[in-house]
Structure 1
Amino acid sequence: MEAYRHYLQAELNIWLFQMKKPPGIMNRMTRGVQKRINDLLPEKLHQAVTLAIENMVKAVMTGSKWVLPKKDPSLSLKTREMKVRQRIKWYRNTASAEGALTGAGGILLGLADFPAFLTIKMKMLFDIGSLYGADMKDKKERLFLLYIFQLTFSSQQRKNELIQIIEKWESFDPGIPENLEGFDWRTFQLDYRDYIDLAKLAQLVPLVGAPVGALANYKLTEQLGNNAMNCFRLRLIQQKNLPG
C-alpha cells in the first residue's frame, strides 16, 4: 500500500505541474481570437446562452435523484481508485457512443448532444466524488464538482487560477447559497464553450460527424475523469485522510 501511495503522489505531482504551467504562445493566441469573437457577439446572445447553461447544470446538480455508488470506508485506496477508473471507463464509452449517434444524425441530433453529454459528465463527477467518500448531498461538494468541470474545460491561464482555489479548498469559503445563485455562470459558459467549440463543431458536419463526435466525447470524458481523480486525491492528502 505504501508503494501505491508513492505512485499516487508522483502522478499527482505531474498533474499539478501541468495545471500550473504558464500559457504557451498558441494558447494565448487562441484565447485572444476567442475573446475577440465573443466581444463581437450581441450581449443578449451571451445572456441567453449563460442562462441556458446555468439552468441545465442546476437541473443536473440539484434536481436529479441519482443512484450513487455505495460508500464503503473499509475499501483500500488502491481498490477505491480501481472502482473510480472502472466508472470513468464506463462513462467514457457511453459518451463516445452517444457522440457517434448524435454526430451521425447531422445538425439537429448534433445539437441534442450538448445537454446529453453534459449530463453524462456531471453524473460521472457525482459517482467519482461518492467513491472517494464525499457527501454529494453537501452544497460545497457539489460546488467542488463545478470547479473540477471548469478546470477541465478552460484555457491554461484559467487553469492557473482555478488550481489555486482547488489546492486551498478546505479553507475556501465560496459564500454561495444552496441554489448556486452568485456562481459566475457567464465565465463558466464562456470557458466551456470556447474550450469545446473546435472539438465539437465538426460533429455537426454530415459524414464526419459520427467519428468526430465519438472521439471528442471519448477524449473529453477521459480528461474530466482524470482531473476529478487528482482533485480528490489532492484533498485526501491535504486532509491526511488517505484510506488504508
Structure 2
Amino acid sequence: MIESNKWLQQELKKIQSWETDQSDLWFWEKLGRLPFKLIDKVTPSFIQNKLGSILDELGQYIQTGGNYLSPASSLSSYYPEDSIHTIEEASVLPIEKMDKAVEKLTKMRKKVATVQGASTGIGGLFTISIDIPILLGLQLKTLQDIALCYGYDPQDKKERIFIVKCLQFVSADIVGKQAILKQLSGIDNNQNTKREVLSEIQGWREVVFSYRDQFGWKKLFQMVPIAGFIFGAFTNRSAVNDIAEAGMMLYRKRRITERLSKDILDGTNKV
C-alpha cells in the first residue's frame, strides 16, 4: 500500500464531512431564487433556447464525448517530474501527489475562466449566448482532467456519466445531492442502486436553473459595462472553482475507497 490504512480512513472522513456540508441550504438561497421568476419573463428567447440546448449537449457528451475528450497524453503536464504517460501509471501514484496535480490544474482553469468571463461580460446581451457553451466546455474539460489525475479514463462511458453527475451535483439542491451521492457510491462495484427518479429530475432542473441564474444576473449587471466585466469574471471563476472542488472530492473519495477495499481484500487473502 502507498498510504497507510489509518491515513486513508482519516481522509475518507474529511470527504464525508464535506458531503454533509453540501446538504446545508440557507434561507437566503431560497429567497434568492425569487428574482429569477422575473428574469424568465424578460430573458430573450434565443438565450432561453441556448440554455435548453445544454441538456442536448450533455446527452451527446455522455454518448460520444464529443469535442471535449482529454487525451491521456496530457498527464505528462500534470506530473512532469514523474514521467507519467498512461492512466495506469497515474492510478498508482500517492494520493497526495494526485491532489497537488489537481490543485495546480484548478488554479490554471480558474485563471482561464476569469479571463473568459470578463471578455464575454464586456459584450453584454450579444455575448451571453457565446459564454454559455464555452463555460460548459471548460467545466467538462476540468472534470475530465481531474479524472485523469486520479487515474480514471474519461473516454470510458462510465466516467463520462460520473463527470456529468459531478456537474449535476454542484447545481442540485439537498434532495438532488443526496440522490446523486447514493448513485455514485455504487458506480465502481456495479451495485444496482435503486434510482430515485424524481430526485434526479429535480437535480437536472437545478442544473438548468443554475445556468439561468448565472447568466440572468450577468444580463442585469451588463446594463453597466464595467459591472458586466467584473461580474462576468467573478461568476465564471466561481463556477469553475465549484466544479473543480466537487470533482476533486468525489474522485478522491473513489480512489481512497478503492485502496481501502484492496487493503481489506489483501488482508483477507493473507489470512
Shorter-chain TM range is 0.7 to 0.9
| Residue 81 of structure 1, CA deviation | 1.3
CA distance in 2, matches of 1:37, 1:59: 31
CA distance in 1, matches of 2:244, 2:128: 23
Structure-1 residue corresponding to 2:11: 8
Superposed counterparts of 1:76-225, under 5 Å: 76-170=94-188, 171-172=190-191, 187=205, 189-194=207-212, 196-197=214-215, 200-202=218-220, 204-205=222-223, 206-225=225-244
Change (3 A) 1:37 1:106: closer
Structure-1 residue corresponding to 2:66: 63
Q: Higher relative contact order at CA 8 Å, sep ≥6: structure 1 or structure 2? A: 1
CA contact under 8 A between 2:47 and 2:129: conserved in structure 1? no
CA contact under 8 A between 2:61 and 2:160: conserved in structure 1? no
CA distance in 2, matches of 1:230, 1:162: 14
Structure-1 residue corresponding to 2:248: 229
CA contact under 8 A between 1:128 and 1:229: conserved in structure 2? yes
Structure-1 residue corresponding to 2:23: 20
- Which is greater in Rg? 2
Q: Identity, % of aligned pairs?
A: 19
Structure-2 residue corresponding to 1:178: none
Cα offsets for 1:116-174 (capped at 9, x unmatched): 11111110111001111112121111011011001112233422332222233333559
CA distance in 2, matches of 1:231, 1:186: 19
| Residue 202 of structure 1, CA deviation | 4.3
TM-score by length of 2: 0.70
Give SS of 1:136's match. Answer: coil
| Residue 75 of structure 1, CA deviation | 2.2
Cα offsets for 1:5-57 (capped at 9, x unmatched): 46633531331111234x343344455x489679989xx99995565113333
Which shifted more, 185-194 or 89-98?
A: 185-194
TM-score by length of 1: 0.77
CA distance in 1, matches of 2:221, 2:58: 22
Gaps of 5+ in 2: 76-86, 194-199, 264-271
CA distance in 2, matches of 1:49, 1:204: 18
CA distance in 1, matches of 2:92, 2:254: 19
**Number of aligned positions between the proteins:** 233
CA contact under 8 A between 1:151 and 1:158: conserved in structure 2? yes
CA contact under 8 A between 1:155 and 1:195: conserved in structure 2? no
Which shifted more, 102-111 or 44-53?
A: 44-53
CA distance in 2, matches of 1:12, 1:221: 19
CA distance in 2, matches of 1:198, 1:127: 29
> Structure 2 counterpart of 1:133, which letter?
G
Gaps of 5+ in 1: 175-182
CA distance in 1, matches of 2:119, 2:18: 32
